[in-house]
Structure 1
Amino acid sequence: MDTRFLESFIAIVERGSIADAARQLSLTPAAVSQRIKALEDQIRQPLLIRAGRTVTPTAAGLAIIEKSRQLIRGVEELRSLAFQEEFAGELKIGAISTALTGMLPFMLKDFFAEYPQIDLHVTPGQSIKLYHEVLEGQLDCAIIVEPPFAIPKTCGWKRLLSEPLIVLVPESCTQTDPLQILKDNVFLRYDRNQWGGRVADTFLKDNRIFPKEQLELDSLEAIALMVSQGIGISLLPDWLPPWPEGLAVRKIPVSTTPPQRHIGLHWLHSSPHTHLIKTLEPFLATQRA
């Protein structure tokens, strides 16, 4: 059985459509459909149900999906073993949005010059989602916010940088006391469902501050733009630049020893690509603030 057929099947199940799977695999929808037809012919069972543009697995498809993932991981392990001595192969990385703009662009040039045979595939996402994709083997590693719980012993963790909390205010704001600013003004909240947002929420609770909440967002860039427009103020980490251009804002430290959002590299010790993951950290470490 051609493992490419299984890869196409898995991509369709995870993406929910043949068109999205085709984009992920850099193929045409017709080519992906042909692969599924060949797979179904070999297994002698229909694997997918098509309803318009949406595709869902049949009972037979659900029965083989996890085993299919295991087979693909096994093939990747074989490839990785063959490449162990020469540092070559594909590495699937996840990254939060601020790492995509503040870390990766500045390390990739040197990284590719040193390891031209490593093919990086970068997936953007939120920390919680990327964390679980590493655990499930969908990603080899991820640059995420440090979880608010102990990292399992099955995982590796390398802290890369720490970002202090600041109060972000419009330039027109004349107040200087950060705690009073948080009490007096309309508040744009960093999403509490995000691990970084919980750092800010803990600070507010510890200081018994219950702000006049207007919005709750998971995008730091969007919050900064809204503060610049005078919609409100916010409490968020002072993330690595670049920030959006043309902002009319001021950054006010919350204290002399502010809480911090920690960013790090997360991976599974059992990953078949641990030798490739180790090549990344020295380049990422040079981007620390």
Structure 2
Amino acid sequence: MSLRALRTLQAIAHHGSFARAGEAVGLTQSAVSLQVKALEEEFRVTLFDRSRRVPRFTEAGKILLDRSAEVLALYDQIAGALGDENSLTGRLKLGAIQTALSGVLPEALAALYKAHPRIRVHVASGMSAELAMQIVTGEIDAAITTEPVRPHSSELVWTPLYTDRFWLIAPPGYADRSIKELLSTLPFIRFDARAWAGRIIERELRRQNLNVHDEMVLDSQEVILRMVGKGLGVAVVPLPDEVCTTLVLTCFPFGVPQLTRQVVLLERQDRSGGALAKALAQAVKEAATAAKI
């Protein structure tokens, strides 16, 4: 039995097909089928009802799915348990939204490595909703994301790290315009609604009955700011106050009252509370506080 095969089994359950599970774990569909066959031969059971177009777990498959989640959770806790109280060791697979990657995370990781030189954090970027799915399937251990918005998996728990506020960003020279005028007359560069921040923005636009003229849909805050800076339209983005004050762009508080979002450390409930994740959360909080001073 291989741990990778068990992770593949979890991915099949989450994504609903061998092909999509293979994409999630970096395997071809045939490789996924071989791993499933190997598990069936090892345990001498049939894991899937293959008479259906979409494979469904048999009762034996459901039992192995539940037990494999427990095995993977225990394995993933080993690295953190090997460290002593004063000097942690181990590896953390971390996802992060782009605002954290370009903001507080580099400072936090530098401080973390200085305090605990034997740890390693492997970082990948993504949108909050995508990173949440990767946590559920075990592809990553934790992620720095926006606080989840419904619907989200009940398997997830989170630790608050810091707060961003939402701002309407316009090109320089528009400080004398109202938000409603800007949104109704200039092209709107929309934050992708697949991102949780994008859903928050869309809800507030509808609540205030603000009509916008979509010009672009982007998932990178950095790219959105560059587009606005080139005079291509206006946008609503979440930003730390200290970043907004340094922009040469025009900034207006967005929302009544101004919208905020919590940035959190997201984990699976059955794997939360590890020493590495706690140390990372503390380092991020300290970096965020230092950035506001």
How far 1:253 sits from its partner (Å)?
Answer: 2.1
Kept in 2, the 8 Å contact 1:151–1:157? The answer is: no
Q: In the alignment, does 2:220 pair up with 1:237?
A: no
Kept in 1, the 8 Å contact 2:171–2:231? The answer is: yes
Counterparts of 1:1-16 in structure 2, within 5 Å, are: 16=23
Structure 2 CA distance for partners of 1:16 and 1:149, relative to 1, 3 Å: closer
Kept in 2, the 8 Å contact 1:98–1:240? The answer is: no
How far 1:285 sits from its partner (Å)?
Answer: 0.7
Measure, in 1, the Cα distance between the counterparts of 2:167 and 2:180: 11
How far 1:238 sits from its partner (Å)?
Answer: 2.1
How far 1:3 sits from its partner (Å)?
Answer: 6.1
How far 1:78 sits from its partner (Å)?
Answer: 4.1
Aligned with 1:102: secondary structure?
A: coil
Measure, in 1, the Cα distance between the counterparts of 2:153 and 2:24: 34
Unmatched runs of 5 consecutive residues or more in structure 2? 12-17, 28-34, 43-60
Measure, in 2, the Cα distance between the counterparts of 1:216 and 1:130: 20
* 1:251 counterpart residue number: 251
Structure 2 CA distance for partners of 1:240 and 1:140, relative to 1, 3 Å: farther
Structure 2 CA distance for partners of 1:216 and 1:90, relative to 1, 3 Å: same
Structure 2 CA distance for partners of 1:172 and 1:80, relative to 1, 3 Å: closer
Kept in 2, the 8 Å contact 1:155–1:268? The answer is: yes
- Seq. identity, %: 24
The one-letter code matched in structure 2 to 1:200 is I
Counterparts of 1:145-184 in structure 2, within 5 Å, are: 145-149=146-150, 155-173=156-174, 175-184=176-185
* 2:267 counterpart residue number: 267
Kept in 2, the 8 Å contact 1:188–1:223? The answer is: yes
Measure, in 1, the Cα distance between the counterparts of 2:272 and 2:5: 22
Structure 2 CA distance for partners of 1:255 and 1:10, relative to 1, 3 Å: closer
Counterparts of 1:36-185 in structure 2, within 5 Å, are: 73-83=73-83, 85=85, 87-149=88-150, 155-173=156-174, 175-185=176-186
Measure, in 1, the Cα distance between the counterparts of 2:2 and 2:169: 54
Measure, in 1, the Cα distance between the counterparts of 2:269 and 2:127: 22
Structure 2 CA distance for partners of 1:3 and 1:264, relative to 1, 3 Å: closer
Kept in 2, the 8 Å contact 1:169–1:227? The answer is: yes
Greater shift after overlay, 105-114 or 272-281? 272-281
* 1:226 counterpart residue number: 227
Greater shift after overlay, 103-112 or 251-260? 251-260
How far 1:84 sits from its partner (Å)?
Answer: 6.1
* 1:191 counterpart residue number: 192
Aligned with 1:287: secondary structure?
A: helix
Kept in 1, the 8 Å contact 2:108–2:280? The answer is: no
The one-letter code matched in structure 2 to 1:212 is H
Structure 2 CA distance for partners of 1:260 and 1:230, relative to 1, 3 Å: same
Aligned with 2:190: secondary structure?
A: strand
Measure, in 1, the Cα distance between the counterparts of 2:203 and 2:113: 40
Structure 2 CA distance for partners of 1:238 and 1:172, relative to 1, 3 Å: same
Count residues with an aligned counterpart: 264
Counterparts of 1:274-289 in structure 2, within 5 Å, are: 274-288=274-288, 289=292
The one-letter code matched in structure 1 to 2:205 is L
Measure, in 1, the Cα distance between the counterparts of 2:102 and 2:230: 23
Kept in 2, the 8 Å contact 1:79–1:89? The answer is: yes
Aligned with 1:270: secondary structure?
A: helix
Structure 2 CA distance for partners of 1:169 and 1:280, relative to 1, 3 Å: same
How far 1:249 sits from its partner (Å)?
Answer: 2.3
How far 1:254 sits from its partner (Å)?
Answer: 3.0
Alpha-carbon RMSD: 4.3
Measure, in 2, the Cα distance between the counterparts of 1:218 and 1:120: 24
Measure, in 1, the Cα distance between the counterparts of 2:201 and 2:10: 38
The one-letter code matched in structure 1 to 2:142 is C
Q: TM-score, normalised by structure 2?
A: 0.70
The one-letter code matched in structure 1 to 2:259 is P
Q: In the alignment, does 2:205 pair up with 1:204?
A: yes
Aligned with 2:262: secondary structure?
A: strand
Unmatched runs of 5 consecutive residues or more in structure 1? 22-35, 44-62
